Structure 1
Amino acid sequence: MAQAQPMDAPYAKLVQLETGIARVLAHNPSAFTYFGTQTYLLGEREVAVIDPGPDLPEHVDALEQAIGGRPVVAILCTHTHRDHSPASKPLAERTQATIVGCAPLALATVGPRADASFDGDYVPNHVLADGETIEVDGKTVTAVATPGHTSNHLCFAYEGALFTGDHVMGWSTTVVVPPDGDMAAYMQSLDKLRQREDIIYYPAHGDPVTNPQQYVRHLSGHRMQRERQILGLVRDEALAIPDIVANAYPGLDPRLVPAAGGSVFAHLVDLERRGLVQRQEELWKAA
């Protein structure tokens, strides 16, 4: 494995990470995408594209240039948020490649979505099941189902690397927002990754993760700590989600408050299913 390169790459430029793995950074920085969405190219004589990203003309042009006329085996999407899958359609038109990967999913969430809306125009030629494979240059790419951030989320394993989309990010914890985001499923998916033996994670946002199992244990521990914190806050009095957020996330960037509220709601829904909290209209109380 090559030494992991930091996330300071220029936009719309091909950066070689290691043999058979390169990336192009989309120019869509935000509070939820960090510097932007990283699109990965796998293979040498032929390529597969992971998370083509937003439908920005300069990004699609950069991907076409990076492909350089090589055959495109597949365009793979981890999930259907609008910073991940929309460029699949124009890129497929330019390269004649098939779109495979996650299932189509377009939902309206409760209130305006904080991180990214769903791509309602995503139409895959084939949906990959957990464990299903494709080949690039004679090497195997395997779909790894990781629901939680969204119910249709997939990671992709290739030659010791795992492309983790938004399930594991290199700069921030993952947003889990009901009704489609599910905290119990997210935790189970983290445990699934912890039992794997991947050498490095390449997330869609943020730096590569070079200590995968340790990092996944950290993420799981963080969520369990947050759960205990929420239970402690609602043990003595019934609270609304904004009050829980204000207490659990002091000094939070105002742009991130809706996302924090979504994750708190996801925790509360999971705790309610387990009989640990009760809902009283807009208020939540320990059972």
Structure 2
Amino acid sequence: MTYTGTNTYIVDNGEIAVVDPGPKIQEHYDNILEVIGDRPVKYIFLTHSHIDHSPLAADLSIKYNTPVYGYGPSDAGLSSTMLKLIADGYESGSEGIDHNFHPDLLIEDGEYFELNETSIIAIHTPGHMGNHVCFQYGGVLFSGDHIMGWATSMVSPPYGDLTQFMASCHLLKDINISLILPGHGEPVDDPKERIKYLIRHRLEREQQIKATLQYNPLNALEITELVYIDVDKSLIPAATRNVFAHLLDLNERGFVEFEGIISETMKVRLIKN
């Protein structure tokens, strides 16, 4: 379970859309049915295919005879770098992936879905996962796990991609929204400030990582031990994946270079500031 659990949203304006059915937990499923009852469901939308968001989609689809909409299976939207990591056997950040998820209908970026004369707009926001989508409904953004108020989003290679994540943040900060409804935690009522913070937080971490590489090549774990000096030792593996995500992004942008085959254990050297 992530934080206090997964938020499933039911949009009801005379027609019904469900956003993120959630984990395969009977109580969660029963709660959804209690709200919807026997009324028809027009859409079942998935923001992304982690096991705390997607498994109940199939059950709801059967119950309401409604197709499931998603950007694609769990490897959809991944960059060539991440696909190569998977092909090379790197699975360190792959826990929680719903490899069985396959949407009935594919979503396109910018696609409009009519709901009783209003629209829900799909916005492809890769980063947390390659197949991550946010949904805009008027001034409200259903943000999945891309933006949350209680924590920064996990970006864990190979299914998470920091280069994509930052691009998606810059895209969302220019969208006219007044409220974010995240996949976990409470609503975010200051969207632009929160998105700016997420961007700033990642850039500050980037500078810390660059500073460790000023004199000697280091690998992700060695950098982590220098940057995350106050973190509980049990969290070091997760922190190392976060550093690796930054190194992949910096490599993509030409700031660092891996000294051999790209991996979490390969040393990296700084080539420009």
With the shorter chain as reference, the TM-score category is 0.7 to 0.9
Q: Could you tell me which residue of structure 1 aligns to residue 213 of structure 2? A: 234
Q: Tell me how far 1:209 sits from its aligned partner.
A: 1.0
More displaced stretch, 253-262 vs 74-83: 253-262
Query: How many residue pairs were aligned?
Result: 255
Q: Which amino acid aligns with 1:37?
A: T
Q: Could you tell me which residue of structure 2 aligns to residue 42 of structure 1? A: 11
CA RMSD of aligned residues (A): 1.8
> Can you give the 5+ residue segments of structure 1 that lack an aligned partner in the other structure?
1-27
- Structure 1 SS opposite 2:100: coil
Q: Could you tell me which residue of structure 2 aligns to residue 6 of structure 1? A: none
Q: Which amino acid aligns with 1:126?
A: L
- Structure 2 SS opposite 1:223: helix
Taking the aligned partners of 2:236 and 2:34, their CA distance within structure 1 comes to: 39
Q: Which amino acid aligns with 1:283?
A: K
Task: Determine which of 24, 31, 50 is the counterpart of 1:81.
Answer: 50
Q: Which amino acid aligns with 2:53?
A: H
Structure 1 or 2: larger helix share?
A: 2
Taking the aligned partners of 1:160 and 1:256, their CA distance within structure 2 comes to: 37
Say if 1:227 and 1:152 are closer, same or farther in 2 by CA, change over 3 A: same
More displaced stretch, 254-263 vs 76-85: 254-263
Q: Tell me how far 1:151 sits from its aligned partner.
A: 1.1
Q: Could you tell me which residue of structure 1 aligns to residue 167 of structure 2? A: 188
Taking the aligned partners of 2:230 and 2:187, their CA distance within structure 1 comes to: 28
Q: Which amino acid aligns with 1:83?
A: D
Q: Which amino acid aligns with 2:7?
A: Q
Q: Tell me how far 1:234 sits from its aligned partner.
A: 1.2
Name segments (4+ residues, structure 1) moved above 4 Å: 106-109
Task: Determine which of 110, 115, 120 is the counterpart of 2:90.
Answer: 110
Say if 1:152 and 1:245 are closer, same or farther in 2 by CA, change over 3 A: same
- Structure 2 SS opposite 1:54: coil
Q: Which amino acid aligns with 1:133?
A: Y
Sequence identity (%): 38
Q: Contact 1:43 / 1:137 at 8 angstroms: preserved in 2?
A: no
Q: Which has the higher contact order (CA 8 A, sep 6+)?
A: 2
Task: Determine which of 10, 20, 23 is the counterpart of 1:51.
Answer: 20
Q: Contact 2:7 / 2:184 at 8 angstroms: preserved in 1?
A: yes
Structure 1 residues 136-155: Cα deviation after superposition (integer angstroms, max 9, x where no partner) = 23321110111111111100
Counterpart mapping for 1:141-220 below 5 A: 141-220=120-199
- Structure 2 SS opposite 1:38: coil
Taking the aligned partners of 2:229 and 2:221, their CA distance within structure 1 comes to: 12
Q: Could you tell me which residue of structure 2 aligns to residue 67 of structure 1? A: 36
Task: Determine which of 262, 269, 273 is the counterpart of 1:285.
Answer: 269
Q: Contact 1:163 / 1:201 at 8 angstroms: preserved in 2?
A: yes
Structure 1 residues 81-105: Cα deviation after superposition (integer angstroms, max 9, x where no partner) = 1111111001111111110122112
Q: Is the counterpart of residue 246 in structure 1 residue 225 in structure 2?
A: yes
Q: Could you tell me which residue of structure 1 aligns to residue 114 of structure 2? A: 135
More displaced stretch, 270-279 vs 167-176: 270-279
Q: Could you tell me which residue of structure 1 aligns to residue 79 of structure 2? A: none
Structure 1 residues 92-128: Cα deviation after superposition (integer angstroms, max 9, x where no partner) = 11111110122112586724437x4221222212111
More displaced stretch, 93-102 vs 75-84: 93-102
- Structure 1 SS opposite 2:42: strand
Structure 1 or 2: larger strand share?
A: 1
Q: Contact 1:130 / 1:145 at 8 angstroms: preserved in 2?
A: yes
Q: Contact 1:74 / 1:100 at 8 angstroms: preserved in 2?
A: yes
Taking the aligned partners of 1:258 and 1:203, their CA distance within structure 2 comes to: 26
Q: Could you tell me which residue of structure 2 aligns to residue 97 of structure 1? A: 66
Taking the aligned partners of 2:154 and 2:97, their CA distance within structure 1 comes to: 14
> Can you give the 5+ residue segments of structure 2 that lack an aligned partner in the other structure?
76-82, 261-265
